[in-house]
Amino acid sequence: MADETLVKRPSALLGLTEPLRAAADLASLLPGSLWLSSAPRGDGHRVLVLPGFTGSDRSTAALRAFLRRQGFDARGWGLGTNLGGPEQRGDLDDLLRRMVAASEEPISLVGWSLGGVLARNLARRQPQAIRSLVTLGSPIAGSPTRTRAWRLYRQIHRGQDAELTARFADGARREPPENVPSTAIWSRSDGIVPWRISCEPPGPRRENLEVLSSHLGLAINAAVLYAVADRLSQPREGWRPFEAPWWLWPVLRPAKV
């Protein structure tokens, strides 16, 4: 877990330019169409995609549509707006059990920002139900108080500060199950979540991928979409670390932390 005394919140400039940079991430889909056409294809297994804080399934629609085109059975969570309340834990547990029962095999999880925190904790509670885990700019290795979304989070959950902080900090201190391959995708130019608390700890089936992206654009960035498809396409047995094609090196590559 990152030393919080050394982790600074993203600069105000990065935060203010998030919408503009997210528009550039969206624009990357056009020139990135060649990358995406060569992205690995899936085997039809089910993928649950969790939105970020204050986001709903609409915010992950482009990512899920791309994954479906690549042969994955990508689904939204169907739980409305993600506010990170404690009541959503039980809803997620029930949803996972229903999805695994329907597909009759483990499913993969993709979580954006706060959705990645929820996905990681879900994998910890039900590891036998999870095939693989991918987080996008998620504060999985430190306190959510270091993010620029914390003030809004506190306002929504007024009066629960101590409980919420303890719950997220405890989750960040515990590592995911070793038998669940886990990939953290993050950006040093993230204007919402410090990249230092978005990293997976070292492990035999854990990895970190650094991408050139805004936080708000992580689910619509062409390089990120390619990486997610590649990671989800890994076989249930014989998982291998990500190897970026040469044409992605300027914007996406494995990172050591």
Is residue 55 assigned to a domain?
yes
**Strands of 46-50's sheet, edge to edge?**
73-76, 46-50, 107-112, 130-136, 182-186, 206-211, 252-254
pLDDT for 1 equals: 47
Residues sharing a CB contact under 8 Å with residue 189, sequence separation 6 or more, in sequence order: 14, 21, 212, 213, 214
Has residue 162 got a pLDDT over 80?
A: no
Residue 119's closest CA among 88, 150, 98, 146? 88
User: b/e map of 204-233 (b: 16 or more CB within 10 Å)?
Assistant: ebbbbbbbbbbbbbbbbbbbbbbbbbbbbb
The percent of residues above 70 in pLDDT, for the chain, comes to 90
pLDDT at 247 over 60: yes
Answer whether residue 12 shows pLDDT above 90.
yes
pLDDT for residue 85: 77
Q: What is the pTM of this model?
A: 0.94
Q: Does the residue 153 lie in any domain?
A: yes
DSSP state, residue 129: G
Domains of the chain: total: 1
Alpha-carbon torsion 125, 186, 20, 75, what sign?
A: negative
3-state secondary structure 215-236: CCCHHHCHHHHHHHHHHHCCCC
Tell me whether residue 6 is in a domain: no
The pLDDT value recorded for residue 154 is 82
Residue length of the chain: 257
Q: Residue 137's domain spans which residues?
A: 12-254
Give, as one character, the DSSP assignment of residue 203.
-
In a domain, 1, yes or no: no
List, for residues 33-77, the tens digit of each pLDDT value. Answer: 888 999 999 999 999 999 999 999 999 999 999 999 999 999 999
pLDDT at 233 over 80: yes
> Which tens digits make up the pLDDT trace of 100-132?
999 999 999 999 999 999 999 999 999 999 999
In a domain, 5, yes or no: no
CA atoms within 13 A on the CB side of 18: 17
Cα distance between the two ends of the chain: 11
Residue 181: pLDDT over 70: yes
Kindly report the CATH number assigned to the domain that includes residue 108: 3.40.50.1820
